[in-house]
Amino acid sequence: MAIKYISHLLVIVSVFYSFIGYAHDTDKAYFRIQEEGENTIVFAEFPWSIRRVIDNVPAKGGENIQDKMFNYLKENLILENENGKILPFEKLEIIKGEKEEGHHSMVNYKIYFKGHDLFKVTNTIMSDFFKNQLNYHSLPFEEEEKITSLKNPSFVLNVSSSHNYFIYYIAGFMLLLALIFFLIKKI
Protein backbone atom coordinates (compact mmCIF):
# COMPACT_ATOMS: atom_id res chain seq x y z
CA MET A 1 0.00 0.00 0.00
CA ALA A 2 2.80 2.42 0.93
CA ILE A 3 4.60 1.61 -2.31
CA LYS A 4 1.49 2.59 -4.27
CA TYR A 5 1.44 6.04 -2.60
CA ILE A 6 5.17 6.51 -3.11
CA SER A 7 4.86 5.71 -6.82
CA HIS A 8 1.98 8.23 -7.13
CA LEU A 9 4.06 10.81 -5.28
CA LEU A 10 6.99 10.22 -7.64
CA VAL A 11 4.73 10.72 -10.67
CA ILE A 12 3.38 13.99 -9.23
CA VAL A 13 6.88 15.25 -8.42
CA SER A 14 8.12 14.29 -11.90
CA VAL A 15 5.25 16.13 -13.59
CA PHE A 16 5.86 19.18 -11.39
CA TYR A 17 9.57 19.31 -12.28
CA SER A 18 8.85 18.88 -15.97
CA PHE A 19 6.81 22.10 -15.88
CA ILE A 20 9.43 24.14 -14.06
CA GLY A 21 12.44 22.65 -15.85
CA TYR A 22 14.63 24.95 -17.90
CA ALA A 23 14.95 24.48 -21.64
CA HIS A 24 16.99 27.12 -23.41
CA ASP A 25 15.67 28.57 -26.64
CA THR A 26 17.69 27.13 -29.50
CA ASP A 27 16.92 30.11 -31.69
CA LYS A 28 18.36 32.85 -29.48
CA ALA A 29 21.96 34.02 -29.23
CA TYR A 30 23.40 36.79 -27.06
CA PHE A 31 26.17 39.26 -27.89
CA ARG A 32 27.90 41.81 -25.68
CA ILE A 33 29.92 44.31 -27.72
CA GLN A 34 32.57 46.59 -26.24
CA GLU A 35 35.62 48.54 -27.32
CA GLU A 36 38.99 47.76 -25.76
CA GLY A 37 41.72 50.12 -26.90
CA GLU A 38 41.99 49.97 -30.67
CA ASN A 39 39.85 46.82 -30.93
CA THR A 40 36.21 45.87 -30.68
CA ILE A 41 35.47 42.72 -28.71
CA VAL A 42 32.27 40.69 -29.03
CA PHE A 43 31.39 38.22 -26.28
CA ALA A 44 29.03 35.72 -27.91
CA GLU A 45 26.80 33.13 -26.26
CA PHE A 46 25.41 30.59 -28.71
CA PRO A 47 22.86 27.90 -27.94
CA TRP A 48 23.92 24.29 -28.42
CA SER A 49 22.23 24.38 -31.84
CA ILE A 50 25.17 26.40 -33.25
CA ARG A 51 26.91 23.04 -33.59
CA ARG A 52 24.15 21.85 -35.92
CA VAL A 53 24.58 25.00 -37.99
CA ILE A 54 28.36 24.60 -38.23
CA ASP A 55 28.01 20.91 -39.11
CA ASN A 56 25.84 21.94 -42.09
CA VAL A 57 28.17 24.69 -43.32
CA PRO A 58 30.08 23.43 -46.38
CA ALA A 59 33.78 22.96 -45.68
CA LYS A 60 36.24 24.90 -47.79
CA GLY A 61 38.72 22.07 -48.03
CA GLY A 62 40.21 20.37 -44.97
CA GLU A 63 38.62 22.62 -42.37
CA ASN A 64 38.14 21.43 -38.82
CA ILE A 65 35.15 22.53 -36.71
CA GLN A 66 37.02 25.57 -35.32
CA ASP A 67 38.01 26.76 -38.81
CA LYS A 68 34.42 26.35 -40.01
CA MET A 69 33.20 28.34 -36.99
CA PHE A 70 35.76 31.11 -37.65
CA ASN A 71 34.77 31.40 -41.33
CA TYR A 72 31.04 31.22 -40.58
CA LEU A 73 31.23 34.00 -37.98
CA LYS A 74 33.47 36.10 -40.24
CA GLU A 75 30.83 35.94 -43.00
CA ASN A 76 27.80 36.50 -40.74
CA LEU A 77 28.93 39.04 -38.12
CA ILE A 78 29.97 42.28 -39.78
CA LEU A 79 30.92 45.43 -37.88
CA GLU A 80 31.30 48.77 -39.66
CA ASN A 81 32.49 52.20 -38.62
CA GLU A 82 30.76 55.47 -39.57
CA ASN A 83 32.62 55.64 -42.90
CA GLY A 84 31.28 52.23 -43.92
CA LYS A 85 34.66 50.54 -43.46
CA ILE A 86 34.29 46.94 -42.29
CA LEU A 87 36.29 46.17 -39.17
CA PRO A 88 38.57 43.18 -39.90
CA PHE A 89 37.68 39.94 -38.10
CA GLU A 90 40.90 39.13 -36.21
CA LYS A 91 40.49 36.01 -34.09
CA LEU A 92 38.12 33.76 -32.21
CA GLU A 93 38.56 32.30 -28.72
CA ILE A 94 36.33 29.79 -26.98
CA ILE A 95 35.58 30.77 -23.38
CA LYS A 96 35.59 27.80 -21.06
CA GLY A 97 34.41 27.61 -17.46
CA GLU A 98 32.20 30.69 -17.43
CA LYS A 99 29.63 29.41 -14.92
CA GLU A 100 28.76 32.70 -13.20
CA GLU A 101 27.69 34.52 -16.35
CA GLY A 102 25.59 33.57 -19.32
CA HIS A 103 22.77 31.21 -20.03
CA HIS A 104 22.46 27.46 -19.65
CA SER A 105 23.38 25.14 -22.52
CA MET A 106 25.44 27.84 -24.17
CA VAL A 107 28.75 27.87 -26.00
CA ASN A 108 30.70 31.06 -25.25
CA TYR A 109 33.15 32.77 -27.59
CA LYS A 110 35.23 35.94 -27.55
CA ILE A 111 35.51 37.49 -31.01
CA TYR A 112 38.13 40.13 -31.82
CA PHE A 113 37.76 42.82 -34.48
CA LYS A 114 40.52 45.25 -35.43
CA GLY A 115 39.31 48.81 -35.09
CA HIS A 116 36.78 50.81 -33.12
CA ASP A 117 34.23 53.64 -33.56
CA LEU A 118 31.49 51.10 -34.21
CA PHE A 119 28.51 52.47 -36.13
CA LYS A 120 26.65 49.54 -37.74
CA VAL A 121 26.27 45.86 -36.84
CA THR A 122 25.04 43.21 -39.27
CA ASN A 123 24.41 39.84 -37.63
CA THR A 124 22.89 37.00 -39.63
CA ILE A 125 24.35 34.23 -37.47
CA MET A 126 22.05 31.18 -37.46
CA SER A 127 19.34 33.10 -39.38
CA ASP A 128 20.14 31.07 -42.47
CA PHE A 129 19.19 27.88 -40.59
CA PHE A 130 16.46 29.04 -38.19
CA LYS A 131 13.83 31.41 -39.60
CA ASN A 132 12.83 32.56 -36.07
CA GLN A 133 16.43 33.22 -34.98
CA LEU A 134 16.88 36.28 -32.74
CA ASN A 135 20.29 37.72 -31.90
CA TYR A 136 20.33 40.01 -28.86
CA HIS A 137 23.07 42.66 -28.61
CA SER A 138 24.01 44.69 -25.56
CA LEU A 139 26.37 47.62 -25.83
CA PRO A 140 27.67 49.79 -22.98
CA PHE A 141 26.65 53.04 -24.72
CA GLU A 142 23.17 51.90 -25.76
CA GLU A 143 20.23 52.03 -23.36
CA GLU A 144 18.22 49.28 -25.03
CA GLU A 145 19.23 45.87 -26.27
CA LYS A 146 19.38 45.67 -30.07
CA ILE A 147 17.90 42.62 -31.83
CA THR A 148 18.72 41.26 -35.27
CA SER A 149 16.72 38.64 -37.15
CA LEU A 150 16.19 37.29 -40.65
CA LYS A 151 13.90 40.24 -41.47
CA ASN A 152 16.07 42.85 -39.69
CA PRO A 153 19.69 41.68 -40.01
CA SER A 154 21.40 44.94 -38.96
CA PHE A 155 21.13 48.02 -36.80
CA VAL A 156 22.82 51.41 -36.54
CA LEU A 157 24.04 52.66 -33.21
CA ASN A 158 22.78 55.81 -31.54
CA VAL A 159 26.22 57.39 -31.62
CA SER A 160 26.51 60.43 -29.40
CA SER A 161 30.18 60.56 -28.60
CA SER A 162 31.99 63.69 -27.48
CA HIS A 163 33.58 64.33 -30.90
CA ASN A 164 30.11 64.88 -32.40
CA TYR A 165 29.53 67.75 -29.96
CA PHE A 166 32.88 69.38 -30.75
CA ILE A 167 31.34 71.33 -33.64
CA TYR A 168 28.64 72.71 -31.33
CA TYR A 169 31.25 73.81 -28.80
CA ILE A 170 33.23 75.61 -31.50
CA ALA A 171 30.09 77.24 -32.94
CA GLY A 172 28.99 78.35 -29.47
CA PHE A 173 32.43 79.74 -28.72
CA MET A 174 32.51 81.64 -32.04
CA LEU A 175 29.05 83.04 -31.37
CA LEU A 176 30.15 84.16 -27.91
CA LEU A 177 33.26 85.85 -29.35
CA ALA A 178 31.15 87.62 -31.97
CA LEU A 179 28.73 88.83 -29.28
CA ILE A 180 31.58 90.11 -27.09
CA PHE A 181 33.23 91.81 -30.09
CA PHE A 182 29.91 93.43 -31.04
CA LEU A 183 29.33 94.67 -27.46
CA ILE A 184 32.88 96.05 -27.13
CA LYS A 185 32.60 97.83 -30.49
CA LYS A 186 29.27 99.35 -29.48
CA ILE A 187 30.75 100.81 -26.27
pLDDT tens figures, 36-73: 999 999 999 999 999 999 998 887 777 788 889 999 99
pTM (2 decimals)? Answer: 0.70
Question: Cα separation of 87 and 115, whole Å?
Answer: 6
174 pLDDT above the threshold of 90: no
Nearest in space to 119 (alpha carbons), one of 159, 74, 160? 159
Question: Cα separation of 135 and 2, whole Å?
Answer: 51
Q: Is 160 helix (H, G, I), strand (E, B) or coil?
A: coil
Domain that holds residue 93: 25-164
For residue 91, being part of any structural domain is answered with yes
For residue 95, being part of any structural domain is answered with yes
For residue 151, being part of any structural domain is answered with yes
Mean pLDDT computed over every residue of the chain: 81
For residue 171, being part of any structural domain is answered with no
Q: What angle do CA 39, 44, 47 make, to 5 degrees?
A: 165
pLDDT tens figures, 77-129: 999 998 999 999 999 999 876 554 544 557 899 999 999 889 999 999 999 99
Segment 14-36 mean pLDDT: 70
b/e map 154-172, b = 16+ CB within 10 Å: ebebeeeeeeeeeeeeeee
For residue 179, being part of any structural domain is answered with no
Question: Comparing 111-125, 145-159, 173-187, which segment has the lowest mean pLDDT?
Answer: 173-187
For residue 4, being part of any structural domain is answered with no
For residue 98, being part of any structural domain is answered with yes
Number of compact structural domains in the chain: 1
